[in-house]
């Protein structure tokens, strides 16, 4: 129900609105609006029964379906099918937990209908800001720059949730999360969002669990574009209740990090590894094992960014083409940072007459079709927290060549049907791909291994996550 705020509720609201920790273990407020104005803009919704809330702030407006977004959408959809009770929420521009509107709920569950390969208004604005932002920052005082950034974020927020002008005049309904459970399946680097999570965990009895994908911005910062923002994300591990890592590798990295990060609550951080799934629920096992095309297709599924090691793979692919081995190389993935050099390399191979294709922003059905067409896949990243394309490939009956260390080796050895190469050595990647292409007996052995693969489905993963969260003491 939605109600007027009591004094106690209003203090909770103020604390989660904008807060920073200080040395005397209290929270000091730094509010952009006076309390009277805040009261007029917000109402508080109280749930009488214990409820699990799932934060999908980023995924609900993300137009693609790679990596984290694939996990979030698949997990939540499986929870829904399993009949698990939960509520989806997002954190607004001020760090307040609010319910999704009907448009957002539909967009979350039916994201493929909103998939577009064209630039949106939001994309165009981002491009303009990236060009003009540094110049504007030099010309105006810092306090005006901060206000301008906030105004821009509000504008993007409006564009994303399709709010009409009349809707912006309505009060925002804030969810009272006290004494409930909050699940964080995403990564957030927004300061207001993280401040709110920290305060609710420390002072208001909200039991918070999070998925940990990786700590790559800490262990391999040279391959990341988030930089300092990720440091804000690390703050949540000081206060939240438990972390569910997607691999033993990621869990071990977190345990090492926690030796350096003092907790702000008395209880130690609980950690557990629960492996994610990689099946395509719309396909049966028999459909997934469809025979590949007559021409051998090497498929790479990866975001277009340096960490995925695409340029070394392309160098190895070129060596194979230069030996007149007959095959096609296809890479599919979503846009990433510093993708220009990767695209230039791809176009250079195409210009030389080699049989190379690349596709961006594809749907799940298109991705499944490429897995079915391919002969084997290659996924030799420099580092990963898991390596979802490895799992997807093997579950589709296609061997995968992956990296010989870290999480990729962990998953590859567990699931079978994989070969391994040193991702830093072009010649090693080349040699391993060549063996899979020309050695039929070796290839058949790898294919046979994929037929006996046993791995949890998204439904199984959802059950494990839900049962673990519900087992935690309030």
Q: How far is CA 32 from CA 4, 14, 172, 192, 453, in A?
A: 22, 11, 16, 12, 55
How would residue 284 be classed by pLDDT, with cut points 50, 70 and 90? low
Do 258 and 319 share a structural domain? no
Q: Do residues 299 and 374 touch, judged by C-beta distance below 8 A?
A: yes
3-class DSSP assignment, residue 425: coil
Does residue 135 carry a pLDDT above 90? no
Does residue 236 carry a pLDDT above 50? yes
Do 355 and 235 share a structural domain? no
Is 135 domain-assigned?
no
DSSP string, 333-353: E---TT-HHHHHHHHHHHHTT
* pLDDT of res. 154: 63
193-221 average pLDDT score: 90
How would residue 27 be classed by pLDDT, with cut points 50, 70 and 90? very low
* pLDDT of res. 458: 95
**Strand locations in 127-219, DSSP E?**
172-176, 181-184, 207-212
Do 94 and 174 share a structural domain? yes
Is 146 domain-assigned?
no
How would residue 408 be classed by pLDDT, with cut points 50, 70 and 90? very high
Domain that holds residue 445: 285-451
Is 9 domain-assigned?
yes
Q: How far is CA 12 from CA 38, 299, 314, in A?
A: 13, 51, 54
* Closest listed residue to residue 201, CA positions, set 215, 174, 183: 183
pLDDT digits (tens, 9 = 90+) for 143-156: 776 677 667 666 66
* pLDDT of res. 19: 39
In 235-363, which ranges are continuous DSSP H helix?
248-258, 285-288, 310-322, 340-351
193-213 average pLDDT score: 91
Is 56 domain-assigned?
yes
Q: Do residues 383 and 219 touch, judged by C-beta distance below 8 A?
A: yes
277-281 average pLDDT score: 82
Is 59 domain-assigned?
yes
Is 161 domain-assigned?
yes
pLDDT digits (tens, 9 = 90+) for 82-110: 999 999 999 887 788 888 888 889 989 98
Look over the chain and give the mean of its residue pLDDT values, rounded to a whole number. Answer: 83
| CB-facing half-sphere around the CA of 412: CA atoms within 13 A | 27
Does residue 404 carry a pLDDT above 80? yes
What does the CA dihedral 112, 114, 120, 126 come to, rounded to 10 degrees?
A: -60
**What is the H or E stretch that residue 11 is in?**
helix 7-17
- Tokens 């105004």 locate to 151
Is the Cα torsion angle 204, 206, 209, 210 positive or negative in sign? negative
pLDDT digits (tens, 9 = 90+) for 160-184: 655 544 554 456 778 889 889 999 9
How would residue 349 be classed by pLDDT, with cut points 50, 70 and 90? very high
How would residue 188 be classed by pLDDT, with cut points 50, 70 and 90? confident
Do 53 and 19 share a structural domain? yes
Structural domains of the chain, count: 2
Give the strand order in the sheet containing 242-245: 2-3, 42-46, 172-176, 97-99, 87-91, 52-55, 181-184, 207-212, 242-245, 270-273
Do 310 and 259 share a structural domain? no
Is 149 domain-assigned?
no
* Closest listed residue to residue 313, CA positions, set 447, 213, 424, 441: 424
Do 424 and 360 share a structural domain? yes
Phi, psi of 245 (to 5 degrees): -80, 150
Do 445 and 387 share a structural domain? yes
* pLDDT of res. 396: 93
* pLDDT of res. 195: 86
Do 351 and 202 share a structural domain? no
What does the CA dihedral 388, 394, 399, 401 come to, rounded to 10 degrees?
A: 20
Does residue 208 carry a pLDDT above 90? yes
- Tokens 């063996």 locate to 435
How would residue 158 be classed by pLDDT, with cut points 50, 70 and 90? low
Is 105 domain-assigned?
yes
How would residue 25 be classed by pLDDT, with cut points 50, 70 and 90? very low
Do 222 and 351 share a structural domain? no
C-alpha span between 54 and 99 (Å, rounded)? 10
Does residue 314 carry a pLDDT above 50? yes
Do 355 and 272 share a structural domain? no
Does residue 353 carry a pLDDT above 80? yes
C-alpha span between 291 and 124 (Å, rounded)? 42
Determine if the pTM surpasses 0.85. no
What percent of the chain lies above the pLDDT cut of 70?
77
Do 294 and 254 share a structural domain? no
Does residue 317 carry a pLDDT above 60? yes
- CATH number, domain of 330, equals 3.40.50.2000
Do 292 and 273 share a structural domain? no
* pLDDT of res. 22: 36
C-alpha span between 8 and 26 (Å, rounded)? 16
């Amino acid at each position: 129900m939605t109600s007027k705020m009591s004094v106690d509720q209003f203090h909770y609201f103020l604390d989660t609105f904008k807060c920073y920790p200080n040395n005397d273990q209290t929270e000091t407020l730094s509010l952009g609006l006076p309390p009277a104005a805040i009261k007029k803009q917000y109402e508080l919704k109280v749930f009488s029964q214990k409820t699990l809330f799932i934060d999908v702030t980023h995924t609900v407006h993300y137009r693609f379906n790679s990596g984290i977004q694939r996990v979030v959408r698949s997990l939540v959809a499986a929870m829904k099918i399993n009949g698990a009770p939960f509520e989806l929420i997002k954190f607004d521009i001020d760090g307040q937990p609010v319910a999704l509107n009907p448009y957002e709920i539909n967009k979350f569950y039916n994201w493929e209908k909103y998939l577009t390969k064209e630039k949106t208004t939001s994309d165009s604005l981002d491009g303009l800001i990236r060009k003009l932002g540094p110049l504007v920052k030099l010309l105006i005082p810092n306090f005006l720059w901060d206000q301008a950034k906030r105004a821009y974020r509000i504008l993007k927020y409006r564009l994303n949730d399709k709010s009409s002008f009349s809707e912006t005049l309505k009060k925002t309904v804030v969810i009272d999360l006290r004494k409930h459970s909050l699940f964080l399946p995403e990564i957030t680097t927004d300061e207001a969002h993280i401040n709110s999570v920290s305060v609710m965990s420390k002072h208001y009895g909200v039991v918070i669990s999070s998925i940990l994908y990786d700590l790559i911005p800490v262990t391999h910062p040279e391959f990341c574009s988030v930089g300092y923002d990720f440091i804000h994300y690390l703050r949540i591990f000081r206060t939240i209740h438990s972390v569910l890592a997607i691999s033993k590798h990621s869990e071990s990295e977190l345990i090492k990090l926690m030796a350096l990060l003092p907790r702000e609550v008395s209880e130690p951080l609980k950690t557990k590894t629960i492996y994610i799934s990689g099946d395509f629920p719309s396909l049966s096992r028999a459909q997934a094992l469809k025979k590949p095309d007559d021409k051998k297709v090497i498929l790479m599924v990866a975001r277009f960014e340096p960490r995925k090691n695409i340029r070394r793979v392309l160098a190895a692919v070129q060596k194979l083409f230069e030996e007149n081995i007959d095959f096609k190389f296809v890479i599919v993935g979503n846009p990433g940072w510093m993708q220009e050099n990767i695209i230039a390399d791809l176009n250079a191979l195409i210009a030389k007459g080699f049989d190379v294709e690349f596709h961006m922003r594809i749907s799940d059905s298109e991705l499944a079709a490429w897995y079915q067409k391919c002969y084997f896949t290659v996924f030799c990243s420099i580092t990963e927290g898991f390596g979802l394309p490895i799992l997807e490939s093997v579950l589709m009956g296609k061997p995968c060549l992956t990296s010989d260390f870290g999480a990729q080796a962990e998953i590859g050895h567990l699931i079978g049907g994989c070969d391994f190469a040193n991702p830093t050595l072009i010649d090693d990647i080349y040699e391993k791909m060549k063996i899979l292409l020309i050695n039929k007996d070796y290839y058949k052995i790898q294919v046979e291994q994929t037929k006996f693969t046993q791995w949890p489905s998204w439904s199984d993963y959802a059950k494990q996550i839900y049962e673990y969260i519900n087992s935690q003491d309030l």
